[in-house]
A and B are shown apart, each in its own frame.
Chain A
């Protein structure tokens, strides 16, 4: 019940296209859902985050869509650029547990 399932494992998108990464969870106690971007040799960097009382959040080219009833959320990267090539992790968090539960990660490659 503590798992967050992320798909796909890897994704190749052409420059200018839309990258979509999906995550699903079971634990309804999760109350905060961040996405992290990680480049090789670097730590995860917070990209964007959402609370379950919001259905969509947009920051620049990055959008989180959240479906509370389906217990699913997704990251959309519009106008994908080669610089977006990285590993993306979705995560879920509860204040009470003080824990971040990560998805397994998606390796995104944007072809020029």
Chain B
């Protein structure tokens, strides 16, 4: 079991639907991340939150909208997605927040998203 919990594990949605992915961690980490991973490829960074503030947006389309309600929770709101958005969406967290002491990113098991 990972210490980063993601729900739901699987999600099938139509292109006109609105849904949200949720991520929770209780390790006291102040940096949280969203990644997208296509089959047989490495994870691609989408967003970084540091101390609940968006610090990095890797030019992600606006149909993906992140939200960090508190230090333990991270959401990804989805709207009007395209079939090419079908992928595994991974959440990660770390203690890194500008400190020189690098700490590893801990990943959840992801949400497998399929867009019909």
Contacts and interface: CB of A to CB of B under 8 A. Distances in A.
Given A31-B102, A41-B109, A95-B99, A104 B50 contact: no
Interface in B83-109: 90, 92, 96, 98-100, 102, 104-109
B31 interface: yes
Interface string A95-112: 100111011110100000
A103 B42 contact: yes
Contacts, number: 58
Interface string A60-98: 000000000000000000000000000101000101001
Contacts of A36: 107
B15 interface: no
Given A44-B90, A89-B42, A104-B41, A95 B108 contact: no
Contacts of A51: 102
A95 B104 contact: no
Interface string A4-29: 00000000000000000000000000
Contacts of A107: 40
A44 B43 contact: yes
Interface residues of B, number: 28
What size tier do the contact residues of chain A reach? 20 to 34
Contact of B107 (A45, A93, A95): A45
B45 A95 contact: no
Contacts of B66: none
Nearest to A6: B42
B45 to A, nearest CB: 6
Interface of A: 31-32, 34, 36, 41-46, 49, 51, 87, 89, 93, 95, 98-100, 102-105, 107
Which 6 pairs, one residue from A and one from B, show the smallest C-beta to C-beta distance?
A: A102-B42, A43-B107, A32-B102, A43-B109, A46-B104, A44-B107
